[in-house]
Amino acid sequence: MTLEDVKNDKEVNILIDNTERQLTELGYTEHGRRHIGIVSEIAGNILKELGYSEKEIELAKIAGYLHDIGNSINRVDHAHNGALLSYEILKRMGMSLEDAAEIMMAIGNHDELSGTAVSTISAAVILADKSDVHRSRVRNKNLSRFDIHDRVNYAVEEAKIQVDKENKKIYLRLKIDTEICPVIKYFEIFLDRMLMCKQAAAYLNIWFHLEINGTILL
């Protein structure tokens, strides 16, 4: 089974649409096809750059694409709900129980409130998900009505993940407009996520570094 099979599944698409609709109503940043597409691509690229197998790369892509569908039920416990939904969907689609369980475990551990890297796939999804900070995720374009999450995301003009396999390092490089949001505000809301990325990178036997405006901060 491939990522394209998952993308073409009607049930998956309905859940993605419901996720986007519900989180829009709740005022969250974008969690739809843009976000899950980016997470899927980055998760796969991380494992590819580190020399993992084609199968692991494809499982990471699928897990990244499905990681947020639990939001179609409720924002609370969305990682656990999404893990169970994905397991049942992938079984129905004919994926082996072993591979479906691997994806379920990765999705169930991607949220910083209850998860941690417990597998190669989960580590890649965590790094990919937490690196997607960018102004294109902000729906509200009225700066005077921004909450802290809107302001921090909107301040990020560029966000890139770079793997340095030779030196066993992975960099999250951000360009932030400090006139919109000072760097300290980024840490106020994203410190737990960055520490989660550090642990996920360690699981892959590499070091995580956060670089903001050319300065290494973590």
Encode pLDDT of 165-188 as tens digits. 999 999 999 999 999 999 998 988
Q: H or E stretch including 25?
A: helix 10-26
Radius of gyration (Cα) for the chain, nearest Å?
17
Number of separate domains in the chain: 1
Encode pLDDT of 137-164 as tens digits. 888 777 778 888 889 999 999 999 999 9
Report the Cα–Cα distance between both ends of the chain, in Å, rounded: 38
Per the listing, tokens 């505000």 go with 185
- pTM beyond 0.85: the answer is yes
CATH number at residue 148: 1.10.3210
Which domain does 133 fall in, by range?
A: 3-216
Encode pLDDT of 45-99 as tens digits. 999 999 999 999 999 999 999 999 999 999 999 999 999 999 999 999 999 999 9
